[in-house]
Amino acid sequence: MGRKEPYASQEEFRKRVIHYPDVPLVELVPGAKSHIVSAEKITLSFITMEPNSYFATHRHESEQMMIVVDGECDEIVEGRLYHIKKGDVILLPSNIEHGAYIYDKDCRAIDVFSPGSRKLRLDHCASWL
């Protein structure tokens, strides 16, 4: 079956497609950097956490799903540790206390937040330090 629809113009393409590595990196906490892409109702964070880094426990209104794409870490959720590795998805409901320990290797993940925000709230990230 052949395609019937025309390809999008360059202008149309640029309005819908983002090559996330081209999005500037933001340091969330020491040892953790992310490319953050947001729409009206969802935010994606393409995060790399360096060995021996730590996210202090924190809460936020958005629900979060973390998809581990490489490496592993211990996610702290309400005072319990969850060892998650490549291929795992951890679900974090709104306002649940959570953080993370990263050990001897990088951990790369995609975080999905809903509702999202068109701007990164750096004041929220500062609470993780």
- Say if 12 falls within a structural domain: no
- Say if 4 falls within a structural domain: no
pLDDT digits (tens, 9 = 90+) for 66-115: 999 999 999 999 999 999 999 999 999 999 999 999 999 999 999 999 99
> Which structural domain range is residue 59 located in?
29-126
What's the pLDDT at 116?
A: 87
- Say if 107 falls within a structural domain: yes
Closest by CA to 86, choosing from 69, 73, 66, is 69
Number of domains in the chain: 1
Query: What's the rounded Cα separation, in Å, for the pair 15 and 47?
Result: 23
Res 120 pLDDT > 90: no
Phi then psi for residue 6, to 5 deg, are -75, 155
pLDDT digits (tens, 9 = 90+) for 12-40: 999 999 999 999 999 999 999 999 999 88
- Say if 6 falls within a structural domain: no
- Tell whether pTM > 0.85: yes
Cis peptide before 24 (omega within 30 of 0): no
